[in-house]
């Protein structure tokens, strides 16, 4: 059987550019294109390109007599896109796959659209695409963009409700903005009172192929360096005003085990967690209270100054003097913590002491020989000797020390290169102390931060990643920072005077110390962005309880809060309905009397036509019935003044209503 050839584009179907008003189509298609572009960086680039190409083709069809594609061709394109998306994403049921389908559907629907119903479908698709943007991007600039596009989409919806009679742009914009403004109080009530589960309002779990930067439970060569070259934000913290900048050590994982190349936390640390008290005393003596907003890291560590004692995070624990969450941090988290300068003194258990002295059986012979000179001395004398060694050894701090040797890396740093970053210094000092008989361990975290005067908080970035040493001296763990011993000020890492914190690298140092205007603008924007994160994105159960307490509603249960929300929403809707009915009642009198005039003229054989406005109809009726011209213009002028003009005074309104009678 011979199958007749069928063109891909069916010329017998209605052409795309002749269905409705051209500018209406072009406006809608441009809006669809902007909604697609808002998914850049989230949906696959080839998918956005294919969907945008379909929209551009349809946009060109408004000026050229191109026919719309046949349904079987659209179905074939859809099948190909679904197959390609499935291959790239790797699974059917995922956020990426669903978002990609939505973007693809917008392009295919735009390509086959021919009527008003299709335009209404595109309006709904744009709303869905804008909502899907927040799955992957919650930043404030994106929220502003989405809000603007939603307003434009609402204007298109208003215009389509008037089709085929098109309203001027300003009129549509006014109606749309008034409609959205009426929804704001209801949305605000739902936002504040809707019962929340623990965690922020929006958020998602990173997929398996995503990687989050941050500290981990091991420290291999270049681990800290890779963080020091990043400007990503780690946390923002409100701290006491009287704290000195050099005390800003943000404590993270503690590393014990060394295999000659990599430091690890070790399996022995697991199972030693103790519940962190949730009560934060108002007066903690020498303690420091902090309110911290930490960014997602994929790790369970809740960073806090020095040695944290308590936290208001449910289920948080303490391990080796560091604060841990019950699960990895996949979402931004706000919490409070209480810290002290050092761990309370106490006897070191034998198993812990053995662990804090353990070294590989072989390797780094020159470092071992150096440490043997300090053996059998008090711990403080050993530390003084080590400090003198680093100060007198002409050591240099650099982020480009060269490739680390696979063997005897401590010897190479102490005796050959004598240059490196905090990881090399902490590893070498811990090795020397252990070889000399002093229990020691490595603490990783962050040092310093940039003080933001706009938001009154400290901003800590990945570029402040740091590693230091804790040695057990006289019954307590003592913090030792060998990088500070050599007086490092290059790049501003430890030169914390004047800015209450510092950053890495010449550019960041210039921004934080020299570029005053740029610095103020950057910090001001970060303060605005932090307020958005704190009050909108992180508005979870804890923040809701605080807000309800401020509103004197803190004693309500979740069920009572839900009932209160329903009642307030109903009251708001009824109020808006009442206001609308009052306005409709006032205008209904005018419309009823003018309708009586139109019906009277229709009985005389001169009915108004659908395309005629009041003035055009009056001109035709007055020409046909000259003897009634005065009455016709009297009624028309009164109707135009009452229906389209500004609100008149009571006396003027009564006069116009009398003139409106026919």
> Among all residues, which ones are annotated catalytic?
422, 466, 481
Give 103's Cβ-side CA count (13 Å radius).
31
Question: Contact 9/104 with Cβ under 8 angstroms?
Answer: no
CA 51 – CA 103 distance, rounded (Å): 7
Token representation of residue 312: 């208001």
Q: Are strands 263-264 and 257-258 parallel, antiparallel or unpaired?
A: antiparallel
Distance, CA of 510 to CA of 456 (rounded, Å) = 21
For residues 287 and 311, the answer to whether their CB atoms sit within 8 Å is no
User: Which residue reads 């379909």 in tokens?
Assistant: 54
Q: Residue 49: CB partners within 8 Å, gap ≥ 6?
A: none
How large is the C-alpha radius of gyration of the chain?
Answer: 35
Structure tokens at 504: 């890495």
Running DSSP on this structure, what letter comes out for residue 299? S
Q: Number of helices (H) and strands (E), helices first, in the chain?
A: 21, 19
Strands (E), 17-113: none
- Which tokens go with 472? 């057990």
Q: Are 254 and 266 in contact (CB under 8 A)?
A: no
Q: Are 198 and 314 in contact (CB under 8 A)?
A: yes
Q: How far apart are CA 301 and CA 214, in angstroms?
A: 10
Count Cβ atoms below 10 Å from residue 603 Cβ, excluding itself: 8
Sheet holding 440-447, edge to edge: 304-305, 249-255, 440-447, 465-473, 476-480
Residues 509, 491 contacting (CB under 8 angstroms): yes
Dist. CA 576–CA 474, nearest whole Å:
72
Whether the CA torsion 123, 125, 127, 129 is positive or negative: it is: negative
C-alpha 322/C-alpha 250 separation (Å) is 10
Label residue 205 left, alpha or beta by phi (over 0 means left) and psi (-120 to 50 means alpha): beta
DSSP state of 344: P
Measured from the Cβ of residue 256, the count of other Cβ atoms closer than 10 Å reads 20
E runs forming strands in 65-163: none
CB atoms within 10 A of CB 635: 25
Question: Residue 264 in 3-state DSSP?
Answer: strand
Angle at 539 between CA 534 and CA 542, to 5 degrees: 105
* Closest to 81 measured CA to CA, from 52, 60, 115: 52
């Amino acid at each position: 059987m011979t199958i007749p050839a069928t063109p891909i584009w069916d010329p017998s179907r209605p052409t795309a550019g002749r269905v409705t008003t051209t500018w209406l189509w072009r406006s809608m298609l441009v809006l669809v294109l902007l909604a697609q572009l808002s998914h850049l960086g989230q949906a696959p680039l080839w998918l956005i390109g294919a969907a945008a190409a379909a929209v551009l083709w349809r946009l060109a069809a408004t000026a050229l007599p191109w026919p719309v594609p046949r349904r079987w061709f659209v179905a074939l394109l859809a099948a190909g896109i679904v197959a390609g998306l499935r291959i790239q994403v790797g699974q059917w049921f995922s956020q990426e796959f669903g978002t990609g389908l939505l973007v693809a559907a917008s392009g295919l629907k735009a390509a086959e659209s021919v009527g008003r119903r299709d335009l209404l479908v595109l309006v709904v698709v744009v709303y869905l695409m804008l909502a899907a943007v927040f799955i992957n991007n919650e930043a404030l600039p994106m929220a502003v963009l989405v809000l603007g596009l939603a307003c434009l989409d609402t204007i298109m919806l208003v215009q389509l409700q008037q089709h085929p009679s098109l309203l001027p742009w300003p009129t549509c914009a006014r109606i749309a903005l008034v409609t959205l403004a009426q929804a704001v109080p209801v949305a605000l009530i739902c936002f504040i009172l809707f019962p929340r589960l623990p965690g922020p309002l929006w958020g998602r779990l990173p997929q398996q192929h995503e990687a989050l930067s941050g500290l981990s439970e091991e420290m291999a060569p270049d681990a800290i360096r890779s963080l020091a070259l990043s400007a990503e934000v780690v946390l923002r913290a409100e701290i006491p005003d009287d704290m000195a900048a050099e005390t800003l050590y943000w404590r993270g994982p503690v590393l014990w085990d060394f295999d000659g190349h990599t430091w690890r936390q070790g399996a022995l640390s697991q199972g030693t967690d103790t519940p962190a008290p949730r009560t934060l005393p108002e007066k903690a003596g020498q303690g420091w209270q902090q309110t911290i907003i930490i960014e997602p890291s994929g790790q369970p560590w809740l960073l806090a100054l020095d040695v944290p004692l308590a936290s208001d995070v449910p289920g948080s624990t303490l391990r080796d003097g560091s604060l841990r969450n019950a699960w990895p941090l996949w979402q931004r988290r706000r919490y409070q913590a209480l810290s002290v300068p050092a761990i309370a003194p106490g006897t070191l258990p034998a198993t812990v002491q053995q662990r804090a002295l353990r070294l590989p059986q072989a390797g780094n012979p020159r470092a071992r020989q150096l440490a043997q000179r300090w053996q059998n001395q008090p711990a403080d004398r050993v530390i003084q000797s080590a400090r003198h060694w680093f100060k007198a050894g002409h050591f240099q701090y650099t982020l480009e020390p060269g490739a680390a040797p696979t063997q005897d890396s401590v010897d190479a740093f102490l005796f050959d290169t004598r240059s490196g970053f905090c990881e090399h210094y902490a590893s070498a000092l811990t090795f020397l102390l252990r070889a000399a008989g002093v229990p020691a361990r490595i603490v990783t975290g962050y040092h310093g931060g940039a003080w933001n005067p706009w938001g009154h908080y400290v901003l800590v970035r990945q570029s402040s990643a740091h590693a230091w040493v804790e040695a057990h001296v006289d019954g307590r763990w003592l913090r030792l920072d060998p990088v500070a011993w050599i007086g490092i000020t290059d790049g501003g890492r430890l030169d914390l005077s004047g800015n209450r914190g510092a950053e890495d690298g010449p550019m960041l140092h210039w921004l934080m110390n020299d570029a005053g205007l740029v610095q103020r603008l950057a910090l001001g924007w970060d303060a605005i962005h932090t307020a958005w994160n704190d009050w909108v994105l992180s508005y979870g159960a804890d923040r809701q309880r605080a807000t309800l307490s401020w509103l004197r509603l803190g004693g309500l249960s979740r069920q009572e809060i839900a009932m209160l929300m329903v009642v307030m929403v109903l009251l708001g809707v009824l109020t808006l309905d009442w206001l609308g009915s009052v306005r409709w009642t006032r205008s209904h009198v005018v419309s009823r009397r003018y309708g009586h005039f139109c019906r009277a003229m229709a009985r005389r054989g001169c009915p108004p036509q659908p395309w005629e406005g009041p003035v055009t109809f009056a001109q035709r009726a007055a020409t046909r019935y000259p003897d009634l011209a005065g009455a016709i213009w009297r009624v028309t002028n009164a109707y135009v003044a009452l229906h389209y003009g500004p609100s008149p005074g009571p006396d003027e309104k009564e006069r116009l209503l009398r003139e409106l009678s026919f």
